[in-house]
Amino acid sequence: MNWTRLQLRKREVLGSCLSIGLTMFPMPSVAQSAGNKAAAEAIFGQGKLLMQSGDYAQACLKFEASQRLDEGIGTLLYLADCYEKTGRTASAWAMFKEAASMAGAQGQDSRQKLATQRARTLEPGLVKVIIDIAKDDDGMLGFEVRNDGVAVPSAQFGSPVPIDPGEHRIEASAPGKRTYGEVINVTKGVARVTVPLLTDLAPPAGALPQSSTATSRSSDGWRPSKTAPANQVPKDTPASDGRTQRMFSYAIGAVGLAGIGVGSYYGLTAIHDNSQSKNDCPGDPNRCSSSGVDLRNTALRDARVSTIAFVVGGAALAAGAVLFLTAPRGPLLPVTVQSTFTSNSAQLSLKGAF
């Protein structure tokens, strides 16, 4: 009896731990998948209503969105049927083929037969395009062909490939080459596009380019448009005369002169205070009176300020000289720097036209 109760107790404990674990660690992927399925189902229903009302273009957008959220054979069949009704026969044929493959993998024989039959019905009337490229472009590093912005695999070059009827833009590009662009309008049969050998972007050695040609698309196709050469300099661009740089050199030089002036003033003051302190410190600095000690401390402080001012002023003068000497040649500005020092102040004036 005790053994049976112990076993039941263990099962209760394990069950409680499992419940707590599921509560503490939810499964977001399952919840997200369920949310996607619900959204996909709702959008799919909207697409069916739009199909019934004859708004096939919007219905196709709904089916595409539903298929992205939750892939399904039924959605693929509706999407393929919608593509066919909007004249996108190649897209419809591809969707029916994909639906047949998915249905066969899942053992849905009726859907597989339906999708296969619809694809066979469309196949004879498919419009196709053949893209030929120049031999020298084949294998070029970075060479790429795009159909309506989608890269075309190299295995498709020279082979007929189904394409939806209508207008399509074919582009070929490679690093350092001019991009080739062509617009084709295919309504039936097989269209052939021949991409010529791409030309270099850089002009021949020793040639002076007069203009460059860019390819642009207008309502009636691709047409060349002229643009200004990259190395052309506007004639009305004034050359720099260095006036701004010299102005900065004067200002920095003035700061340097001010630093030298401040350093000189505090240096002289320090010398004067140190000399005066000797009267109150006869023979031995340790026997200085309180006034002597104050004078010496003041002299030390002024000496430090003088040193700092000299260093800053010297650096500013050097920087101003470099700026002045490296400025482009131009009319020199009449600038006058005047400094005045007294026993209690230092004044610096900068005069000139900037």
Please report the pLDDT score of residue 121 as a whole number.
94
Look at residues 89, 124, 159 and tell me which one is the last residue of a structural domain.
124
Please report the pLDDT score of residue 100 as a whole number.
94
How far is 50 from 60, CA to CA, in rounded Å? 9
> Given pLDDT bands bounded at 50, 70 and 90, which one contains residue 274?
confident
Please report the pLDDT score of residue 118 as a whole number.
94
Flag whether 88 is in a domain. Answer: yes
- Per-residue exposure over 163-183, b if at least 16 CB sit within 10 Å of its own CB, e if not: bbbeebebbbebeebbebbbe
Is residue 314 predicted with pLDDT exceeding 60? yes
- Look up tokens 């002597």; give the residue: 292
> Which residue would you say has higher pLDDT here, 111 or 313?
111
Q: Do 196 and 253 fall within a single domain?
A: no
> Given pLDDT bands bounded at 50, 70 and 90, which one contains residue 250?
confident
Please report the pLDDT score of residue 351 as a whole number.
57
**277-296 pLDDT tens trace:** 777 776 666 666 777 777 77
Please report the pLDDT score of residue 140 as a whole number.
82
Please report the pLDDT score of residue 183 as a whole number.
93
Q: Do 277 and 176 fall within a single domain?
A: no
Look at residues 124, 153, 185 and tell me which one is the last residue of a structural domain.
124
CATH number at 173 reads 2.60.40.1120
Q: Do 111 and 161 fall within a single domain?
A: no
Task: Give me the mean pLDDT over the 102-114 stretch.
Answer: 93
Least confident of 244-248, 253-257, 282-286, 292-296: 282-286
> Which residue would you say has higher pLDDT here, 95 or 291?
95
> Given pLDDT bands bounded at 50, 70 and 90, which one contains residue 24?
very low
What is the total count of domains within the chain?
3
Flag whether 218 is in a domain. Answer: no
- Single out the residue of 138, 136, 198 nearest to residue 173, CA to CA: 198
How far is 42 from 58, CA to CA, in rounded Å? 15
Flag whether 320 is in a domain. Answer: yes
CATH number at 112 reads 1.25.40.10
Please report the pLDDT score of residue 329 as a whole number.
65
Domain limits for position 82: 31-124
Please report the pLDDT score of residue 32 as a whole number.
55
Look at residues 124, 158, 184 and tell me which one is the last residue of a structural domain.
124
Of 109-118, 180-189, 200-209, 311-320, give the range with the top mean pLDDT: 109-118
> Given pLDDT bands bounded at 50, 70 and 90, which one contains residue 9?
low
Please report the pLDDT score of residue 26 as a whole number.
46
Flag whether 22 is in a domain. Answer: no
> Which residue would you say has higher pLDDT here, 91 or 292?
91
Burial class for 307, CB neighbours closer than 10 Å (0-12, 13-18, 19+): middle
Flag whether 323 is in a domain. Answer: yes
Flag whether 342 is in a domain. Answer: yes
Is residue 16 predicted with pLDDT exceeding 60? no
Please report the pLDDT score of residue 217 as a whole number.
44
Here the contacts of 280-287 (C-beta below 8 Å, separation 24 or greater) are: none
Please report the pLDDT score of residue 294 as a whole number.
77
Flag whether 115 is in a domain. Answer: yes
Task: Give me the mean pLDDT over the 33-42 stretch.
Answer: 85
